[in-house]
Amino acid sequence: MTDNSGVARVMGIDPQEIQEWIESFDAVLKEEGQEAATVLLDRLRSRAQKLGAGPAFTANTPYVNTIPVEKQGVFPGDQEIERRIKSLIRWNALAMVVRANRVDHSIGGHISTYASAATLFEIGFNHFFRGRTDEFEGDTVYFQGHASPGVYSRAFLEGRLSAKQLENFRRELRPDGGLSSYPHPWLMPDFWEYPTVSMGLSPLMAIYQARFNRYLEDRAIKPKTNAKVWAFLGDGETDEPETLGAITLASRENLDNLIFVINCNLQRLDGPVRGNGKIVQELEAAFRGAGWNVIKVLWGSDWDPLFERDVDGLLVKGLGEMVDGEAQKLVVESGAYVRQHVFGTDPRLLKMVENVPDEALRTLRVGGHDPRKVYAAYKSAVEHTGSPTVILARTIKGYGLGESGEGRNITHQQKKLNEEELREFRSRFGIPINDEQLADTPFYRPTEDSREIQYLRARRQELGGYVPTRKVRSKPLVADHDALFREFLTGSDGREVSTTMAFVGMLRQMLRDPEIGKLVVPIVPDEARTFGMESLFRQVGIYSSRGQLYEPVDQHTLLYYKEAKDGQILEEGITEAGSMASFIAAGSAYATHGINTIPFFIYYSMFGLQRISDFIWAAADMRCRGFLLGGTAGRTTLAGEGLQHQDGNSHILALPIPTLWAYDPAFAYEIAVIIQEGIRRMYKDGESIFYYITVMNEAYAMPPMPPGPEIREGILKGMYKYRASENKKSKLRAQLFGSGAILREALKAQELLEEKYGVAADVWSVTSYKALYYDGINTERWNLLHPAEKARVPYVSQCLSDSPGVLVAATDYLKALPNLVSKWVPRRLAALGTDGFGRSDGREALRNFFEVDSRFITLATLHELLQDGKIEATVVEKAIQDLRIDTEKANPLLT
């Protein structure tokens, strides 16, 4: 605190002496400059530390603007015209929401978030955000999702969106189109680039995007530029663990291409963010502690003269001690209240404002609404080097909504204004709409030759075009890559390998390929050794912006831990969320950078869709491409690890994501076919899809791919007959479905059934129930809508049309997975799966516990034959004995 008088009195130090110290410091600052003054302070601090009198740690600076008035510089824009433009944007944003809710009051929308963010956005649009051009990659901007009406409203002034589109805000299903509620690239692929509305995702994505930009530069895949990544967040949003979860990465990596702007309106949805505390100070401490450059923009220019007069630091002290709940109250109260509560604590303060009228006190602006202050902060941020910057800008939620919303706890959900409130807003922002028109709340766009439109267009032209604009810039790949995958189609010659090892072999091949080699981005969250990928450390190196500043302990070994500035592997440490953010940056680089990077993110499968599904959902929204590999997958295939690790869920959790193709392959050739096809579809045909492939750590001999074109097609479509029974005469028939490692249990059951019970069973490898399910529902839908035409037949039904016998499916995932297709199979389907909590034990014990081993597949088959009246119950009972099945065993679902 700047007020030392209290301290001085308590400690018995002569205030005169303090004054002399301050004057000496001032003299150094004036005569020797800022650097010298800092050195002096550092030396004094060290000295004090040494003598045991070090100052108490504080991560905070006083509650004032970080940039002093003297350092503010000049504002280069035309402030008046920019205010006019901003006012029009405010109006149209408000009109959008108000109009939409008149038509349908359930439609929602947000006015107050943009009302608080308008100046923060507009300074960016008029002076900082650079568009993507052929010459320059442009800046990346994550807009606060709930402020979308403001971004649409600006695009309307820019002439990029029509009044009709604004009219249909949040009514995307209107025949003439509409605008999505929030930033969704899936829905507006030429406009939005980054989905931000699930809070906390965009800050994390922004950090990893900024780091990925550096990765591309360090690997010479794109030129070095000074492009920036901007992320606009809410202060309430910082409570999401993802928001602050990776801020140390940003400083560790010196990401001075990253700027966070936190809109500190002190409110979230229900009420104050920190009623009893100070969110700005809390965030300042967190970011400073993490090594960020923190710029606070708390007070507007109106406050400058007051601080100038605050020689004793009383005002700063008072503001620093005021909790946010009270600060919010000042917004809704009168000037007299402000006088009493801000200045009434000390006669010296009251004197300071004795000539300031109440009205002026009431309207004292906070920093985030003052273009000059915001401009100075942004300029300082873009010029800052060595670390990322966060701008903490004090704003007012619902700014301009007057008594109906400004600073009120209800403001977040406000979407209606009465005529009086509209009139006030209109007058406050000088919108040229007369009283009669107000009831209609029309949109307003000045004519093309107006100063406003001319200015706005000129600014954007100067900055390289409109933001946001999403444009796919990459060129399709050319080669078909047959040679890369050929060796995996011929089997492992009896050598026992896991599908994970097979995948790593493919990855190694891809990394060597002249076309895609450099585009492959392997991503691991500290599990490379788990997946046997350590050989890649040496082959392509681990990316480190600093290279390797130490000699690794294992340097003498062949596979040492090699970090390199041009390393290719993103070894993210233990953060699936961060790794996914890297996947998103790499998987969307085809649009962001025009570069077809192909991410392969391999992780412990339980910690993927189960843990970070919202990021995967956002990746789909962003039209990301690439491969997610769920390693150590399968509830009974991952032995030993137990309840938290064994994944029997992820294929169910993959279901809702429309663009995610999910596969559970058993053999190396299946994976080869899937990956090759994936690369073709995504990077040659440009489909906006991505892949989820589970791979296991159970080693077995990989068979060669059976001959015939239908195999390849079947693998991709979701199922194919892997091994038919040779016994064509038996009356007892069955079709067994297996997937992943459980396919081998089905194969063992096939033998058991044949040898012991005379049942001839065919075995199918079901590589993707999701693919079968999507095909089924799509076919059904087509039939529903085309009753007079020849009905189409789902692929799974086609496969089984000539396949006699009972149907039994076994999976390492929930029984719901095979049951997804049960309605399209010709007869009843018995499903075996792994519902319940996992256990730590060996595979054999686990498969018995979950009732998915060859014995249970055999039993289920016999049971189905019994149901069909093909065999006697005694046969089944005998089988239970022979197979040593404990009929009183624990139910895995309930124990």
Binding stretches for Mg ion (CB under 5 A): 234-236, 265, 267
Q: Which of 65, 87, 116, 767 is close enough to bind ligand TPP by CB under 6 A?
A: 116
User: Which H or E element spans position 520?
Assistant: strand 520-524
Is 581 in contact with 208 (CB distance < 8 Å)? yes
In angstroms, give the least distance from the CB of 827 to Mg ion. Answer: 58
Query: Cα dist. 404→289, 327, 425, 698, 864 in Å?
Result: 39, 18, 10, 64, 68
Stretch that binds ligand TPP, among 268-276, 628-636, 781-789, 801-809 (CB under 6 A): 268-276
In angstroms, give the least distance from the CB of 390 to ligand TPP. Answer: 15
Q: Which of 89, 197, 606, 666 is close enough to bind ligand TPP by CB under 6 A?
A: 197
Enter the DSSP assignment of 146: G
DSSP string across 745-765: HHHHHHHHHHHHH--EEEEEE
In angstroms, give the least distance from the CB of 280 to ligand TPP. Answer: 12
In angstroms, give the least distance from the CB of 369 to Mg ion. Answer: 14
Prior bond to 68 cis, omega within 30? no
In angstroms, give the least distance from the CB of 181 to ligand TPP. Answer: 10
- The string over 447-482, giving b where at least 16 C-beta atoms fall within 10 Å of a residue's C-beta and e elsewhere, is eeeeebbebbeebbeebbebbbebeeebeebeeebe
Question: Comparing C-alpha atoms, which of 470, 441, 398 is closest to residue 166?
Answer: 441
**What's the order of all strands across the beta sheet hosting 258-264?**
140-142, 229-234, 258-264, 389-394, 293-297
Alpha-carbon distance of 668 to 498, in angstroms, equals 8
In angstroms, give the least distance from the CB of 282 to Mg ion. Answer: 13
Q: Residue 72 binds which entry of Mg ion, ligand TPP, none, with Cβ cut-offs from 5 to 8 Å by kind?
A: none
Tokens of 282: 């809390």
In terms of DSSP H, where are the helices of 255-398?
A: 279-289, 304-309, 314-321, 324-332, 335-338, 347-352, 358-362, 371-383
Is 96 in contact with 169 (CB distance < 8 Å)? yes
In angstroms, give the least distance from the CB of 212 to ligand TPP. Answer: 23
Written as one letter, the residue type at 511 is L
In angstroms, give the least distance from the CB of 455 to ligand TPP. Answer: 27
In angstroms, give the least distance from the CB of 373 to ligand TPP. Answer: 18
Is 666 in contact with 744 (CB distance < 8 Å)? yes
**Of 228-257, which residues contact ligand TPP (CB under 6 A)?**
234-237
Alpha-carbon distance of 49 to 765, in angstroms, equals 70
Q: CA 459, 464, 465, 466: dihedral to nearest 10 degrees?
A: -80
Alpha-carbon distance of 303 to 847, in angstroms, equals 71
Binding mask 455-494 for ligand TPP (x = CB under 6 A): ----------------------------------------
Beta strands in 576-715 (DSSP E): 598-604, 627-631, 660-663, 690-694, 700-701
In angstroms, give the least distance from the CB of 236 to ligand TPP. Answer: 3
Is 605 in contact with 692 (CB distance < 8 Å)? no
**Of 371-400, which residues contact ligand TPP (CB under 6 A)?**
397
First to last CA, the chain: 60
Instruction: Using the minimum distance from each CB to ligand TPP, give the nearer residue, 268 or 855.
Output: 268
Instruction: Using the minimum distance from each CB to Mg ion, give the nearer residue, 399 or 737.
Output: 399
**Of 756-795, which residues contact ligand TPP (CB under 6 A)?**
none
In angstroms, give the least distance from the CB of 51 to ligand TPP. Answer: 45
Instruction: Using the minimum distance from each CB to ligand TPP, give the nearer residue, 215 or 230.
Output: 230
In angstroms, give the least distance from the CB of 234 to Mg ion. Answer: 4
Question: Comparing C-alpha atoms, which of 693, 833, 875 is closest to residue 767?
Answer: 693
Alpha-carbon distance of 740 to 762, in angstroms, equals 17
Query: Cα dist. 30→17, 21, 308 in Å?
Result: 20, 14, 18
Instruction: Using the minimum distance from each CB to Mg ion, give the nearer residue, 188 or 264.
Output: 264
In angstroms, give the least distance from the CB of 393 to Mg ion. Answer: 11
Q: Residue 527 binds which entry of ligand TPP, Mg ion, none, with Cβ cut-offs from 5 to 8 Å by kind?
A: none
Q: Residue 154 binds which entry of Mg ion, ligand TPP, none, with Cβ cut-offs from 5 to 8 Å by kind?
A: none
Sign of CA dihedral 740, 744, 749, 754: positive
Q: Residue 237 binds which entry of ligand TPP, Mg ion, none, with Cβ cut-offs from 5 to 8 Å by kind?
A: ligand TPP
- Binding residues for ligand TPP, total number by CB under 6 A: 18
In angstroms, give the least distance from the CB of 394 to ligand TPP. Answer: 12
In terms of DSSP H, where are the helices of 758-872?
A: 769-785, 795-800, 816-819, 843-849, 854-867
Stretch that binds ligand TPP, among 263-271, 451-459, 727-735, 800-808 (CB under 6 A): 263-271
Instruction: Using the minimum distance from each CB to ligand TPP, give the nearer residue, 179 or 865.
Output: 179
Our finding on whether 195 is near ligand TPP (CB under 6 A) is no
In angstroms, give the least distance from the CB of 272 to ligand TPP. Answer: 10
Enter the DSSP assignment of 510: H
Q: Residue 113 binds which entry of ligand TPP, Mg ion, none, with Cβ cut-offs from 5 to 8 Å by kind?
A: ligand TPP
- The string over 297-314, giving b where at least 16 C-beta atoms fall within 10 Å of a residue's C-beta and e elsewhere, is bbbbeebbebbeebeebb
Instruction: Using the minimum distance from each CB to ligand TPP, give the nearer residue, 185 or 718.
Output: 185
Instruction: Using the minimum distance from each CB to Mg ion, give the nearer residue, 101 or 267.
Output: 267
Alpha-carbon distance of 137 to 542, in angstroms, equals 26
Q: Residue 528 binds which entry of ligand TPP, Mg ion, none, with Cβ cut-offs from 5 to 8 Å by kind?
A: none
Instruction: Using the minimum distance from each CB to ligand TPP, give the nearer residue, 110 or 470.
Output: 110
Q: Which of 86, 170, 268, 721 is close enough to bind ligand TPP by CB under 6 A?
A: 268
Q: Residue 664 binds which entry of ligand TPP, Mg ion, none, with Cβ cut-offs from 5 to 8 Å by kind?
A: none
Instruction: Using the minimum distance from each CB to ligand TPP, give the nearer residue, 121 or 583.
Output: 121
**Of 298-317, which residues contact ligand TPP (CB under 6 A)?**
none
Our finding on whether 199 is near ligand TPP (CB under 6 A) is yes
Q: Residue 116 binds which entry of Mg ion, ligand TPP, none, with Cβ cut-offs from 5 to 8 Å by kind?
A: ligand TPP
| Percentage helix, strand, coil for the chain under 3-state DSSP, each rounded to 5 | 45, 10, 45
Q: Residue 366 binds which entry of Mg ion, ligand TPP, none, with Cβ cut-offs from 5 to 8 Å by kind?
A: none
The residue whose two tokens read 């130090």 is 13
Residue nearest to ligand TPP (CB): 234
Is 123 in contact with 78 (CB distance < 8 Å)? no
Instruction: Using the minimum distance from each CB to ligand TPP, give the nearer residue, 269 or 655.
Output: 269
Q: Residue 492 binds which entry of Mg ion, ligand TPP, none, with Cβ cut-offs from 5 to 8 Å by kind?
A: none
**Of 714-753, which residues contact ligand TPP (CB under 6 A)?**
none
Q: Residue 481 binds which entry of ligand TPP, Mg ion, none, with Cβ cut-offs from 5 to 8 Å by kind?
A: none
Alpha-carbon distance of 26 to 32, in angstroms, equals 10
Our finding on whether 178 is near ligand TPP (CB under 6 A) is no
Q: Residue 269 binds which entry of Mg ion, ligand TPP, none, with Cβ cut-offs from 5 to 8 Å by kind?
A: ligand TPP
Binding mask 129-158 for ligand TPP (x = CB under 6 A): -----------------x------------
Instruction: Using the minimum distance from each CB to Mg ion, give the nearer residue, 279 or 825.
Output: 279
Angle subtended at Cα 329 by Cα 91 and Cα 101, rounded to the nearest 5 degrees: 30
Is 838 in contact with 832 (CB distance < 8 Å)? no
In angstroms, give the least distance from the CB of 270 to ligand TPP. Answer: 8
Instruction: Using the minimum distance from each CB to ligand TPP, give the nearer residue, 267 or 854.
Output: 267
Residues that bind ligand TPP (CB under 6 A): 113, 116, 146, 197-199, 234-237, 263, 265, 267-269, 273, 397, 412
